[in-house]
Amino acid sequence: MWWWLATPVALTRAPIDDASKLECVSYAPFRNDQTPHDPTLIVKPEQIAEDLKELAKVSQCIRTYSIDNGLDKVPELASRVGLKVLLGVWIGRDRAKNAQLADIAVSLVKDHPGTVAALIVGSEVLLRGDMTVGDLRQTIQSVKPRVDIPVTYADVWEFWLRYREVGADVDFVTAHFLPYWEDVPPRAEDAAAHVDDVRKQVVAAFPGKEILIGETGWPSHGRMRDGALASRVNQARFISEILERARRDNFRVNLFEAYDEPWKRRWEGTVGGYWGLFDGAERKLKYPAGVAISNYPFWKLQMAGGLLLCLCVFAVAWFTRKRQPALPPLASWAAVAASATAGGMLLGISIDKMLQESYGLGGWLVQGFLLTAAVTAPLLATYALMSGRGLPAFLEVLGPRKGLTPLFMSNILGVTLIVTTLIAAQTALSLVFDARWRDFPFAALTMAVVPFWTLAFLKGSKSGERPLAEAVFAGLFALAAIYIVFNEGFQNWQAMWTGAVYLLLGSALWRARTPAVA
């Protein structure tokens, strides 16, 4: 399985090639906990210069979005390494601040005439609803006569088609094409062709105007949307294909974006932080020329970890069996094999998802507890299965003292089940009420749920009263699974897999019985 997952892809052209520099790439300097939402933050010029030195090796130009937070130093620093700048002015609801930023931008244009190639007055202002189209046009018109370089405005392509009158105020149209975020996103394999088709619609809408693709890209990590899968291979594939189309049809592309930006994960979920061509932490190119591109570059280590867990599960089964007077049935060995196989295959993916998807203290705690449950569940369930014991009810672990189980291992198994159930409920409710930014925890949940399900069906009690807590959770998981699958669409295999795991966990909980009543 790991050999298949790690198979590298061959692309028509290298995503980033030193011999053929990029036309332009979006740049923001924020690292680690730095965020533009911090008004006191001033990024050090040395930090910006370090980034621009690396970008100059692969690109002819950078696009900025703001001149706050120390970004007013970008034109000067870019001139030292030979980079052109598409200088962005971030405008919004505050008219006084808009005028102040416009004044600074005009000064930067005059101070660096050979570096600032164009001025971008506003980005996605209409999309956010920060200004009316009339106010936006007035702002652009107030800036344009003050500079002798091209002036433009940037927004998603739908809003350019909706407000075509803005085209009269700009020298060229800067349109954003982010297929992953569209209402009906295409698959990565079809995304470049989709962008090109929509670009041609915008070209037809603005005859005589150049259409610059001001933003286009694909995320390397994060949740799936319909058939659009965020992955390293898909990011490299999309970049390669859109650049090849740009070369063939002679249009300009600004790629989004230069570096991964961790701060965006707070607002856009995991996927928001992984659009960069460069890694956000180490500031290294993700796809160096000549290096094979794989979704799992460390697959051998991930495979080794899975094999070790698999062997541990069988070792627990073997040593537990030797202490029992009777041989376990074949069904028990099949259940052990299922738990070991699921855990062995998915451990590497679960660790990778934890490292990429954990954000903030709360995120790391949830992901850490889930991974711990995923690793311990197959071991504990195997011990219970080979010992002839079933899955404990919640009341046997947290109920009245006279009904508690006296067995230590059963208590630990019950706690693991409760932790898994609570985290599953939290993720299920998130995917129902706040789905756009939420990841699908299919890998780690599968590792934990498969052992619980096999234990519940092979060693579950057939008599007694069904506990209320387990019944409520089972109903929650059933309803959430149905909603998630239909809400996300049948092309989204991550959603369907996660929904299936919720149903599996719900059916295991539905089998629970209270021994004290039996």
pLDDT of residue 517: 43
Provide the pLDDT confidence category of residue 515 given band limits of 50, 70 and 90.
low
Predicted TM-score (pTM) of this structure: 0.92
35 three-class SS: coil
pLDDT of residue 13: 72
Antiparallel, parallel or unpaired: β 151-156 and 116-123 = parallel
Helices (H), ranges, 35-164: 45-55, 74-80, 95-111, 125-128, 133-143, 157-162
Q: Which amino acid, one-letter code, is at 117?
A: A
Structure tokens of 342?
């699921």
- By CB atoms closer than 10 A (0-12, 13-18, 19+), residue 275 is buried
User: Is the bond preceding 257 in cis, omega lying within 30 degrees of 0?
Assistant: yes
**Least confident span in 50-64, 298-312, 388-402, 472-486:** 388-402
143 in Cβ contact with 175 (< 8 Å): no
41 three-class SS: coil
pLDDT of residue 399: 75
pLDDT of residue 157: 97
> Which helix (H) or strand (E) covers residue 331, if one does?
helix 330-357
Count helices and strands in the chain by DSSP H and E runs? 18, 8
171 in Cβ contact with 149 (< 8 Å): no
Rounded distance between C-alpha atoms, residue 113 and residue 247, angstroms: 28
pLDDT of residue 222: 95
Backbone angles phi, psi at 153, to 5 degrees: -130, 145
301 three-class SS: helix
Structure tokens of 179?
């297929």
Rounded distance between C-alpha atoms, residue 307 and residue 347, angstroms: 9
**For helices 493-510 and 468-488, what crossing angle results, to 10°?**
160
The DSSP 8-state label assigned to residue 146 in this structure reads G
Provide the pLDDT confidence category of residue 39 given band limits of 50, 70 and 90.
confident
Rounded distance between C-alpha atoms, residue 59 and residue 76, angstroms: 17
Q: Please, what is the end-to-end C-alpha distance for the chain in angstroms?
A: 44
Nearest to 383 by CA among 308, 311, 451: 451
Q: Tell me the pLDDT tens digit for each residue of 213-252.
A: 999 999 999 999 999 999 999 999 999 999 999 999 999 9
Q: Tell me the pLDDT tens digit for each residue of 98-147.
A: 999 999 999 999 999 999 999 999 999 999 999 999 999 999 999 999 99
Backbone angles phi, psi at 150, to 5 degrees: -60, 145
166 in Cβ contact with 136 (< 8 Å): yes
Tokens 């058939």 belong to which residue? 227
> Which helix (H) or strand (E) covers residue 385, if one does?
helix 360-387
Provide the pLDDT confidence category of residue 463 given band limits of 50, 70 and 90.
low
pLDDT of residue 126: 97
For residue 85, give Cα distances in angstroms to 148, 248, 275, 294. 15, 24, 20, 32
